[in-house]
């Protein structure tokens, strides 16, 4: 029997969206009439079919039941994760790498004074939350010792304003626990909680919200000829399986954010396929985070027009993500991203 997946598509934004929702010609995404959709793509591993949401009742009983269940999850209003609200999207997650070797800004904020200054700047520029990390997970990087990672970030974490929403980018349970005790509100583990088996127990103990990211292997090998049967659906199945595993291990809360992991064990074709069809993950019922900022796929597309910062590619992909209802964008250039989205929203009114 075929497995069916549901992707919301054909989105509307702003005033037009509100009008269509009012007339029942479109469905609000996450209960927000500012962004809506009127088409559903029914996907299997062998086929795709695009229909209007009004035509769901014309389908066979089994498919109709599946689609209606998924639409409830797609249209259901998202609850806050601590102080992080989803009433308006997107939320901007600023990036603070306190490392000597991150792919884009390695060494730039390695000293405490520079890191603290950048943290303040990211929030002043409009970041809703900031993701602090002390270990580079760029392609080809190797894991560092827990002590080394903690020594890089501890001074900044010890000085954070408890009112600010701080995310901690780490794969190690010891660092997770220390960070949570210092006021970290979200754990962002790029390994999908696979690197350190104790991580789940720490998250369970403190009931801490976290990002569940997909990655094909560890950073040192993840870009060595990554392969999938179907990258879009394989990642969907990974999320579903992992969420069930977390429930079985005592994590019952819904303070979970999904990240398909752009560039983590994916080539250009994989990344583009995910981004073009990102709205499929709304049917899992959790907020979506995308980290596209300055990544290699931008260089691969833009070729000789690429710049070191890749701001243009970051902004264009960010606006595309907003149009597909992505709730959180992880970016280095907070001011430029916020500015572009404000202008976009004004023009789309």
Domain ranges of the chain: 5-75, 91-347
Distance from C-alpha of 176 to C-alpha of 166, rounded to nearest angstrom: 12
Position 330 scores a pLDDT of 98
Position 24 scores a pLDDT of 97
Residue pLDDT tens, the chain, 349 long: 589 999 999 999 999 999 999 999 999 999 999 999 999 999 999 999 999 999 999 999 999 999 999 999 999 999 999 999 999 899 999 999 998 755 555 556 668 888 999 999 999 999 999 999 999 887 776 778 999 999 999 999 999 998 999 999 999 999 999 999 999 999 999 999 999 999 999 999 999 999 999 998 777 676 888 999 999 999 999 999 999 999 999 999 999 999 999 999 999 999 999 999 999 999 999 999 999 999 999 999 988 677 677 899 999 999 999 999 999 999 999 999 999 999 999 998 7
Structure confidence by residue, pLDDT tens digits, 257-271: 999 999 999 999 999
String of DSSP letters for 276-297: HTGGGGGGGTS-BEE--TT-HH
Position 99 scores a pLDDT of 85
The two structure tokens encoding residue 122: 């990211």
Q: Which helix (H) or strand (E) holds 348?
A: none
Q: Does domain 91-347 have CATH number 3.20.20.20?
A: yes
168: burial class by Cβ within 10 Å (0-12, 13-18, 19+)?
buried
Side-chain half-sphere exposure of 306, counting CA atoms within 13 A:
12
Position 202 scores a pLDDT of 98
Strands (E), 60-135: 91-97, 129-133
Position 45 scores a pLDDT of 95
Position 129 scores a pLDDT of 98
Q: Which residues are catalytic?
A: 295, 330
Distance from C-alpha of 194 to C-alpha of 134, rounded to nearest angstrom: 18
Distance from C-alpha of 74 to C-alpha of 35, rounded to nearest angstrom: 12
Phi/psi at 300 (5° precision): -65, -30
Structure confidence by residue, pLDDT tens digits, 229-240: 999 999 999 999
Q: Output the CA–CA distances (angstroms, integers) from residue 271 to 44, 235, 242, 257, in the order listed.
A: 20, 12, 21, 19
String of DSSP letters for 169-203: E-S-HHHHHHHHHTT--EEEETTSS-S-TTHHHHH
């Amino acid at each position: 029997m075929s497995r069916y997946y549901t992707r919301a598509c054909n989105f509307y934004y702003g005033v037009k969206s509100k009008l269509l929702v009012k007339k029942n010609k479109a469905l609000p995404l996450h209960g927000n009439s500012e962004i809506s959709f009127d088409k559903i793509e029914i996907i299997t591993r062998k086929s795709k079919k695009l229909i209007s949401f009004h035509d769901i009742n014309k389908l066979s009983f089994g498919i109709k039941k599946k689609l209606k269940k998924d639409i409830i999850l797609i249209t259901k209003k998202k609850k806050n994760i601590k102080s992080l609200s989803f009433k308006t999207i997107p939320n901007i997650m600023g990036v603070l790498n306190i490392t000597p070797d991150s792919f884009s800004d390695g060494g730039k904020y390695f000293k405490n004074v520079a890191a603290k200054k950048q943290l303040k700047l990211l929030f002043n520029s409009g970041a809703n939350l900031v993701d602090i990390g002390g270990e580079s997970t760029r392609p080809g990087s190797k894991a560092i010792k827990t002590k080394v990672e903690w020594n890089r970030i501890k001074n900044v974490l010890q000085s954070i304003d408890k009112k600010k929403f701080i995310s901690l980018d780490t794969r190690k349970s010891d660092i997770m626990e220390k960070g949570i005790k210092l006021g970290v509100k979200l754990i962002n583990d790029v390994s999908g909680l696979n690197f350190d088996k104790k991580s789940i127990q720490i998250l369970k103990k403190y009931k801490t919200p976290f990002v569940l990211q997909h990655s094909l292997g560890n950073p040192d090998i993840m870009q060595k000829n990554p392969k999938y049967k179907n990258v879009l659906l394989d990642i969907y199945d990974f999320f579903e399986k992992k969420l069930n595993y977390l429930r079985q291990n005592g994590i019952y809360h819904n303070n979970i954010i999904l990240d398909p992991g752009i560039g983590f064990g994916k080539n250009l074709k994989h990344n583009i396929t995910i981004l073009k069809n990102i709205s499929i993950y709304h049917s899992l019922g959790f907020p979506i985070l995308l980290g596209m900022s300055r990544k290699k796929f931008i260089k691969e597309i833009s070729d000789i027009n690429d710049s070191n910062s890749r701001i243009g590619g970051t902004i264009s992909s960010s606006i595309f993500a907003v149009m597909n209802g992505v709730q959180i964008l992880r970016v280095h250039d907070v001011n430029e991203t916020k500015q572009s989205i404000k202008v976009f929203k004004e023009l789309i009114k």
